[in-house]
């Protein structure tokens, strides 16, 4: 068991849990057999779902009937005490009983309870919420996506280092290009914090990443920039805009292909290409946001995803631990 990546799983968070969480674990184990799942939640429900579908050498169930609801405020979630499935899962990472924690539950509660249990990394002032986005050439890391509405130039500089460390943990053979999300590519564009961050990043020489300057919103999908840095307000709007646009395109394409006889014939003839297109925009493939800046990694799965999406976020957990994310951030800071 010492060679296994130990993942603490909050089994009770998100829609259709624990069903989708357990199904996700079973699906993930079929693809990756070096994960050990420390599952926190209602043992009676979980045992019925996992019974004989997973080798007992790869999981354990830690029983609690208490859980954080999606409707709970972060303060309400914290006041529920130390016996919720979310708190216990995070605490197991604090105690070094697990390498990483994942939950599909309440995002605000997960951030607050994580900060209550886990220390910040030295010289990091604020944690950032990061995620993977598809682009023309592969994937990009984008942060912050909503953990910090207001950021200083130091915060944005720290996000650059943490984002680059995350990228190299996930893709160890690539040196990332880091870009600042801005309203233009010229050095004079943007507010004073963005300009100051530009100066800091331009003056720092490092072998860990290349600073590529500013990036505009319409360039995010080009694939030239691997790590896109922003304050949480701007980043969250960019994320929701991208998600909404992707959903709009898929729905409109489906409507066009099924509304007429010609459209139906065309969809049959182009079934393979359409399937590839749909898969490329499938949000389940990019599920798994990561809180960066704490001394242990915390992954947030989308609450509305299904078991495939949850399985993919477990794969992200494995890559983060195997890629020594926390040590990379410490070294780079």
Rounded Cα distance between 132 and 34, Å, is 23
Assigned domain for 20 exists: yes
Percent of the chain whose pLDDT exceeds 70: 92
What's the CA gap between 113 and 123, in Å, rounded? Answer: 21
36, part of any domain: yes
Question: Is residue 15 situated within a structural domain?
Answer: yes
Please determine, for residue 291, whether its predicted confidence score (pLDDT) is greater than 60: yes
Residue 133's pLDDT is what? 86
Tokens of 89: 């899962």
Residue 170 lies in a domain: yes
Q: What is the pLDDT of residues 137-161, one digit of tens each?
A: 888 999 988 888 899 999 999 999 9
In a domain, 325, yes or no: yes
pLDDT digits over 155-204, tens only?
A: 999 999 999 999 999 898 889 999 999 998 777 788 899 999 999 999 98
Q: How far apart are CA 131 and CA 16, in angstroms?
A: 23
In a domain, residue 163? The reply is: yes
Start-end of H helices in 51-187: 74-79, 85-94, 107-117, 153-170
Residues 204 and 328 placed together within one structural domain of the fold: no
CA pair distance 168, 166, nearest whole angstrom: 6
- Residue 31 within a domain: yes
Q: Is residue 299 within 8 Å of residue 11, measured between CB atoms?
A: no
**Unique residue bearing structure tokens 């607050």:** 112
3-state DSSP call for residue 230? coil
Quickly state the pLDDT bin for 272 (edges 50, 70, 90). Answer: low
Count of the separate structural domains present in the chain = 2
Rounded Cα gap, residues 233 and 145, in angstroms: 7
| Mean pLDDT score across all residues of the chain | 88
147 and 56, same structural domain?
A: no
Whether 107 and 158 map to the same domain: the answer is no
Per-residue confidence at 266, pLDDT binned at 50, 70, 90?
low
Is 3's pLDDT higher than 90? no
Q: Residue 268's domain spans which residues? A: 133-283
Among 155, 160, 195, 159, residue whose Cα is nearest residue 176:
160
Classify residue 57: in a domain, yes or no: yes
Give the ranges where the chain is alpha helix by DSSP (H): 19-31, 43-50, 74-79, 85-94, 107-117, 153-170, 192-203, 232-258, 261-269, 271-280, 307-322, 325-332
Higher pLDDT, 74 or 270: 74
162 and 240: one domain?
Answer: yes
One domain, residues 200 and 238? yes
Beta bridge partners, 130, equal 143, 290
The pLDDT tens digits for 29-68 are 999 989 999 999 999 999 999 988 899 999 999 999 999 9
Average pLDDT over residues 123-139: 89
Q: Is the pLDDT of residue 258 over 80?
A: no
How many angstroms separate the CA atoms of 151 and 83, rounded?
A: 33
Pairing relationship of beta strands 298-300 and 177-181 according to DSSP bridges: unpaired
Distance between CA atoms of residues 186 and 246, nearest Å? 28
85-94 and 107-117 helices, crossing angle to 10°: 40
- Same domain membership, residue 41 and residue 9: yes
Q: How far apart are CA 308 and CA 288, in angstroms?
A: 12
Residues 216 and 329 in one domain: no
Asked whether the predicted pLDDT for residue 259 surpasses 80, the reply is no
The whole-number pLDDT of residue 92 equals 96
For residue 283, is the peptide bond before it cis, meaning its omega torsion is within 30 degrees of 0? Answer: no
Kindly state whether residues 147 and 268 are assigned to the same domain.
Answer: yes
The tens digit of pLDDT for each residue in 227-247 reads: 999 999 998 888 888 778 777
For residues 142 and 205, the model is more confident at 142
- At which residue do the structure tokens 């389940």 appear? 284
Q: Are residues 165 and 271 in the same domain?
A: yes
Measured CA to CA, the distance from residue 213 to residue 223 in angstroms comes to: 14
The CATH number covering residue 40 comes to 3.40.718.10
Q: Answer yes or no: do 161 and 250 share one domain.
A: yes
- pLDDT value at residue 302: 87
Same domain, 152 and 274: yes
- Report the alpha-carbon distance of residue 97 to residue 171 in Å, rounded: 26
Beta pairing partners, 63: 41
pLDDT of residue 247: 75
pLDDT recorded at residue 276: 65
Write the pLDDT tens digit of every residue in 274-290: 566 566 666 677 777 89
pLDDT tops 60 at residue 1: no
Does residue 248 sit in the same domain as residue 314? no
For position 207, what pLDDT does the model report?
84
pLDDT digits over 61-99, tens only?
999 999 999 898 989 988 888 899 999 999 999 999 999
Cα(300)–Cα(258) distance, rounded to whole angstroms?
Answer: 36
């Amino acid at each position: 068991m010492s060679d296994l990546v130990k993942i603490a799983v909050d089994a009770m968070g998100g829609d259709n849990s624990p069903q989708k969480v357990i199904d996700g674990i079973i699906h993930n184990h079929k693809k990756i057999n070096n994960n050990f799942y420390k599952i926190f939640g209602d043992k009676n429900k979980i045992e019925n779902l996992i019974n004989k579908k997973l080798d007992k050498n790869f999981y354990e169930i830690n029983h609690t009937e208490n859980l954080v609801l999606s409707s709970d405020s972060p303060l309400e979630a914290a006041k529920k005490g130390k016996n919720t499935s979310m708190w216990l899962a995070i605490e197991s990472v604090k105690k070094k009983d697990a390498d990483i924690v994942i939950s599909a539950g309440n995002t605000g509660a997960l951030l607050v309870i994580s900060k209550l249990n886990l220390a910040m990394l030295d010289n990091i002032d604020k944690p950032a919420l990061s995620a993977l986005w598809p682009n023309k050439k592969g994937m990009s890391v984008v942060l912050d996506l909503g953990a910090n509405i207001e950021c200083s130039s130091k915060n944005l500089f720290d996000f650059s280092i943490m984002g680059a460390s995350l990228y190299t943990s996930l893709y160890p053979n690539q040196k990332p290009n880091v870009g600042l999300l801005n309203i233009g590519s010229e050095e004079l564009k943007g507010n004073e914090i963005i300009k100051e961050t530009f100066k800091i990043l331009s003056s720092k020489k490092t072998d860990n990443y290349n600073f590529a300057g500013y990036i505009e919103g319409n360039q995010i999908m080009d694939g030239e920039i691997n790590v896109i840095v922003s304050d949480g307000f701007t980043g969250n709007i960019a994320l929701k805009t991208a998600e909404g646009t992707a959903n709009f395109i898929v729905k409109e394409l489906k409507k066009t292909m099924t509304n007429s006889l010609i459209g139906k014939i065309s969809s049959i003839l182009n079934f393979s290409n359409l399937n590839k297109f749909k898969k490329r925009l499938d949000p389940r493939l990019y599920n798994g946001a990561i809180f960066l800046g704490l001394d242990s990694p915390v992954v947030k799965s989308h609450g509305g995803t299904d078991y495939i999406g949850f399985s993919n976020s477990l794969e992200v957990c494995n890559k983060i631990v195997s890629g020594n994310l926390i040590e990379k951030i410490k070294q780079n800071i």
